Structure 1
Amino acid sequence: MVSHFGEVIFPSSRAFWDDEDEYEPTDNTEHSLELYIRWLKDKPECIQKFIIIEGDPLIPFVEQCLCPKMEEVCIIENENHKKVSVIYHIDKQIYVCVILPLFDTKNAGKFVNQIYDLLLSSENIISILCCHISQFQSTSVPEIASFLRILATKTVNVSKCGIEPLEQPNIVFGVGAGVLSYAELIGKPAKLYILYIDSFVLDSKCAEPILQVLTDEIPCKLQPKFKEKPFSKGNLYM
């Protein structure tokens, strides 16, 4: 069972609000993100599987390994006409939505609202999120390069997946988490795979768990190895 991510929890008392909040304008529409969907091909009326890929390390993996012949069919842009997401057609009625690094995850709720019609027309919804292992909270952290955890809606039997459910007090956020909550509300089957890696780049070894998942989910030949892109982050946050 999935809990509802993305909820706003207000303080029980105004004593917990910052003093500056009293002087902030109530109308923040000028800072509101605007998203625009542009279909390059006909919009699908029915989707067998809708797969959402999120997390910077997964992008080169998708580009090189997921499916060499995938076709770009939809672009989602922000108000500055910068791409924040791309939807690809993989095979038959299978579509992959890649969340690009430019997208700010604090706007995940608005993104989910923009693609709600695609979620409604999807028979199965799969989200894949990549996180650094330092974000995994547990008294027993696996001492391996990468491992998977899973969250799912009530209609999915997680035990058949052969992957341990994400235990408390771990928290996930972003588009995948929002999509999972929305799927729970509308009664759609959905799964969220969280790939934890011990590096800031995804190499062939770390990608093995998620590669196996995609092999089972997508009926096309995947490239098992890929060239890692160099790590280019300027700061390290622990």
Structure 2
Amino acid sequence: MSCPGFGELNIPSSRAFWDDCEEDEFENMKPAEKLQLKFDVESAGDVAPVASDLLVVIEGPHVTHFATTVLAKDSKRLCSIPAKTSSLHWNASSKQLLAILEDDLSSSGEVTELLLPYAKLAKNVVTLTLKPKVEFKSEEIQFYSDHVAIVRGVGVNQKDITELEAPNFIAGVAAGIASWRDQEELPVSSFVIYTDKLPLDSTAAQPVLKLLKSVGVTCNSSYIPPRKESSYLYM
């Protein structure tokens, strides 16, 4: 195809792609491995989805230590979730199910499918997405320069929570489960917190803990991050 005055325009086709591949390459290709929940040994016989009063989905970069420390207390780890160091925890006394999801958009669709059986049985669902504050877009961004965190809701009806405004959005497993619950007209509350500190430290964790408690999530009142190894420079 040619465009007068603009040289030649080459549009690649799927046929060109297949023609470039050797036949023996297809013979050696292995089917993609299907993602699965990997249940712990002590939970191996307990693989049926549990019916929870509340399913909490917390997703973002570097959330594992925070979530396991302040949310998974007195909970039993059920399985690992195939997205980095993600995992699922069950608190039998409070009937709270906790999905801790390290940010991994490459597998979020499949992981959402794996967790839908739990989302279907939950009486209520709360999703929380953690993002770096630099990703928040606003025409008045200078107003938030001194804020430790920017808290927004997605489709929630709470006077003290501002609705997430475009062009900001949430994605991943939290968005997938929230969308499914909304389509099925089942209770769901979704939140996103833009914070200037990831992994969270003691100060940055406070707005997160405050939000979780306000929506009925069982969690600790404070967070102590892991101690970093001291480094020494010898000349």
TM-score w.r.t. structure 1 length? 0.73
**Partner letter of residue 215 of structure 1?**
K
Give the Cα–Cα distance (whole angstroms) in 1 for the partners of residues 197 and 53 of structure 2: 33
Displacement of 1:161 in angstroms is 5.4
- Which residue is 1:167 aligned to? 165
TM-score w.r.t. structure 2 length? 0.73
2:134 equivalent to 1:129: no
**Partner letter of residue 48 of structure 1?**
D
2:141 equivalent to 1:148: no
For the Cα contact (< 8 Å) 1:65–1:226, is it kept in 2? no
Q: Which has the higher contact order (CA 8 A, sep 6+)?
A: 1
Displacement of 1:228 in angstroms is 4.8
Count of paired positions = 203
CA distance 1:30–1:128, change in 2 (3 Å): same
Structure 2: 5+ residue runs without aligned partners?
A: 1-9, 19-25, 229-235
Give the Cα–Cα distance (whole angstroms) in 1 for the partners of residues 192 and 171 of structure 2: 11
The aligned runs of 1:46-125 (5 Å cut-off) are: 46-77=51-82, 84-90=85-91, 91-100=93-102, 104-125=104-125
For the Cα contact (< 8 Å) 1:64–1:223, is it kept in 2? no
Structure 1: 5+ residue runs without aligned partners?
A: 1-16, 153-157, 231-238
- SS of the residue 1:206 aligns to: helix
- Which residue is 1:199 aligned to? 197
Give the Cα–Cα distance (whole angstroms) in 2 for the partners of residues 147 and 135 of structure 1: 11
**Partner letter of residue 75 of structure 1?**
S
For the Cα contact (< 8 Å) 1:54–1:129, is it kept in 2? yes
For the Cα contact (< 8 Å) 1:48–1:94, is it kept in 2? yes
Give the Cα–Cα distance (whole angstroms) in 2 for the partners of residues 184 and 32 of structure 1: 30
Q: CA RMSD in A?
A: 3.0
Displacement of 1:75 in angstroms is 2.8
- SS of the residue 2:55 aligns to: strand
Give the Cα–Cα distance (whole angstroms) in 2 for the partners of residues 67 and 30 of structure 1: 36
Give the Cα–Cα distance (whole angstroms) in 2 for the partners of residues 122 and 185 of structure 1: 15
- Identical residues among aligned pairs (%): 18
Q: Which structure's CA Rg is the greater one?
A: 2
- SS of the residue 1:115 aligns to: helix
Decide which moves more: 89-98 or 60-69: 60-69
Give the Cα–Cα distance (whole angstroms) in 2 for the partners of residues 32 and 223 of structure 1: 41
- Which residue is 2:4 aligned to? none
Displacement of 1:50 in angstroms is 0.3
